[in-house]
Chain A
């Protein structure tokens, strides 16, 4: 007989049906990806809506990152579903009391919003490319113009109004989207580990942490790859955002755990046995100490010492990676950890980690990496870097006839590939 499932081992008493975990690693990746989307969008919106000028160098890049990740958000769910071909049943015939059904609308709306905003943000570039490129690339860009070639000041002003409006709508949408993911877990009264009113804000804040950390890391990596200088003001601003949200997220997580222990409802013995046993390393050491406290400490020291230059870049990148790790561990400890604690309140299960298969670690890793491969392509199609000197070509940006920087990059890439 085909091997259909992995059964978990357990201690104490668990219901017989609990020995097969309903949700695995893919459902860890799913809220992680939505979090990255919400966080990266927040960085973009801080510039677009609140006019935080120092974030200008990453505003469009963060938006593009957000879109790339969002396009892959449904993937882990589809891989997880028993019948992915019926996935659209949730939207075609939604069950209105289901948080999951309503979430599919929220997510779809958000994808549309991201795509629309991206179109407006890159419309100028699309039009230029449509006018300059020939062949299939030209056709591609001409299709993307949607017939709109007007780049007059009036039209651009109109575009900017739309970008502002979409960003402004996008902030509550992004917050709602990820708060809602927290609600998907927090609203389940069957599991003590999940059933908390603080779950939505915790998910939301950790989302902003992960998205900001992602933007920091991707920005530094992108600058390295493009051999351009990192704009330190921008990086510094992002580290401030990261530091602030990390602290608030950590406080909220602490409050949630504190109230769970303090209320000490039925089953608390098993929860305490869990957090001091199997969860000791993943929760206290990996998530709490290495993922949260360490980057807060490093960032605090950096702010105190007014670190700048190369040290700032290294410090910010390290803290970004640690924060990304913290949120991934938080998602794991919530999704897997919640199911480790039996609904009986009398037993603990041990999640059977598998590497291969549709719901294995490799599949989850592939889903996690895929958006960034897409991003690698997207930054070539929609260069998000703006009017940024590369230190190679001297450009006169005041000359409207001069090719855009993006055009030069495309040309350069083409000539490189010809070589």
Chain B
């Protein structure tokens, strides 16, 4: 051999004994590698298997700090919308943006209102929301909200408004797909996002069938309605409910049989949006139409 080698390496000599020794060494290395991989797998399994939905670390990361004087095991929040009452004033949208510091443009909304207009002789409704360019033009700015009187010259057969927001589903597809557990379902029934843990992949935005999630381009994380969790845990109503002048938005605790939401669900035939998804929405509607999306 012409090569120069350092002592101690297997290739110094090519006699049978050394070759065997070298191979044993390599086999040993591979065996050790296998043991290490197996060890890692067992450790990983120990981490993952005992937990439902999240790993121990995932739960810890997604947990929120305890709120003084609030026990989330004693509440079961739900939301109601009486579409027959909504007048499309859009105060809820304005209040939500202000309360939750949502970007003041036409592309980021925690809540919005849809308008359905059936013109005479038409089977399908014309649908728009406050984010429609015509309505923005009527408002004069993206920071204000208005429904333009765009059907002034038409014969309107029927028309109604439908407020929309996150449905805080019982089986939320957004939580299912989140790779880190940054978005999670609280014990009191609210779907929240840990903005310090979200990686901003937007898989949850894709998974939500209601279009309720959006990407916060400033913080570079996903954002959505929290039912004003910072308010409801202090005994207050969500901002949108608070400002609604016609009580089209109802919020409360299902565990309290006398709460407005319990009474709303008890006294009405309620519907949810897109029940076929199996997500189990917790925003209950009355006054919907088959064409509501």
Which residue numbers of A lie inside 8 Å of B, CB to CB? 4-5, 7, 12-20, 22-23, 77, 80-84, 86-87, 89-90, 92-101, 104, 127, 131-132, 146-150, 152, 154-155, 158, 162, 188-191, 339, 343-346
Contact = CB atoms under 8 A, between A and B. Distances in A.
A98 B206 CA distance: 13
Contacts of A149: 9-11, 22
B270 interface: no
A191 B22 contact: no
Contacts of A90: 179-180, 199
B58 interface: yes
B217 to A, nearest CB: 4
B70 interface: no
Contacts of B19: 150, 152, 154-155
Contacts of A162: 30
Place the interface of chain B in its size category: 35 or more
Interface in B192-224: 197-203, 205-215, 217-222
Contacts of A92: 57
A158 B219 CA distance: 53
B66 interface: no
Contacts of B214: 17, 20
Contact of A148 (B26, B179, B198, B293): B26
A253 to B, nearest CB: 21
Contact of B180 (A16, A86, A132): A86
Interface in B203-248: 203, 205-215, 217-222
B67 to A, nearest CB: 23
B22 A150 contact: yes
A131 B211 contact: no
Contact of B58 (A94, A158, A345): A94
In this complex, the member of B25, B55, B106, B175 whose beta carbon has the largest number of chain A beta carbons within 10 angstroms is: B55
Given A97-B53, A101-B179, A147-B9, 18 more contacts: A15-B164, A81-B201, A86-B180, A89-B197, A94-B180, A96-B54, A97-B177, A98-B177, A98-B179, A98-B180, A98-B181, A131-B3, A132-B3, A147-B10, A149-B9, A154-B19, A162-B30, A188-B173
B23 A150 contact: yes
Contacts of A96: 48, 51, 53-55
Interface stretch (B78-86, B125-133, B254-262): B125-133
Contacts of B201: 77, 80-82, 100
Given A80-B201, A81-B199, A18 B3 contact: no
